[in-house]
Amino acid sequence: MKESINKIIKYLDDQEETREELLDISHRAIRKASSAMAALHREDDEKFSEIIENIEGDIEKLNTILEKEPQFSDHGSLIAAHREFSEALLTNALMEGDELPDPDEIKVHYKGYAQALAETTGELRRHLLDLLRKDDLEQAQKIHERMEKVFDHLERFDYPDSILSGMRHRRDVARKNLEKTRGDITRALREKKLEKALKDAERSLED
């Protein structure tokens, strides 16, 4: 009996050690992803690329752990790391109008990728508001169109939390982001139209 218990204890000790390593790497990747997103909004492409390359190393380490210990594949911290990394890459692609990266190509968990896609709407709204402040209505409209396309895809992810945790809530948040942004665009268009009408009236009076 003692031998059996010792084997179980060793197994569980190894599991705990693996879990601690996974948590450490995941939290590190999440912090870096936050910095990458900040660099993206600052339009610091060089810093963004540098951080992303660094995170890729963390993702590779996490995936190596999963190859040995697949039972951790749905671990919350690991999914979060994959989600935040994916969100940075997806947001960048959507802001630039590029093709979205494939989850297999960037080597992330499908669940993390799907969650990330939903969360891009918040980052895109932030970018769009920056564009409106710069009076770049044309680009803001393009970002809004991309947000709408993202939401169309999100409608297909209709799964319970036991399959895709938090996705319905994320989709609801994305819908609200889209509705608020649609209102922002509409107001900006009206203001632009009014501004043009006033300028035309001024020119008419001068003539």
Cβ pair 127, 101 in contact under 8 A:
no
Q: How far apart are the first and last CA of the chain?
A: 103
Distance CA 90, CA 98 (A): 9
Contacts of 124 (CB under 8 A, 6+ apart): 91, 94, 95, 143, 146, 147, 150, 177
Query: Per-residue b/e over 139-166, b at no fewer than 16 CB within 10 Å?
Result: bbebbbebbeebbeebeebeeeeeebbe
Distance CA 13, CA 8 (A): 9
Task: State residue 156 phi and psi, 5-degree precision.
Answer: -80, -20
Q: Any known ligand binding at 3?
A: no
Tokens of 126: 């932030």
Q: Any known ligand binding at 60?
A: no
Distance CA 170, CA 118 (A): 6
Residue type, 182: R
The annotated binding site is made up of 87, 123
The annotated binding site for Mg(2+) is made up of 87, 123
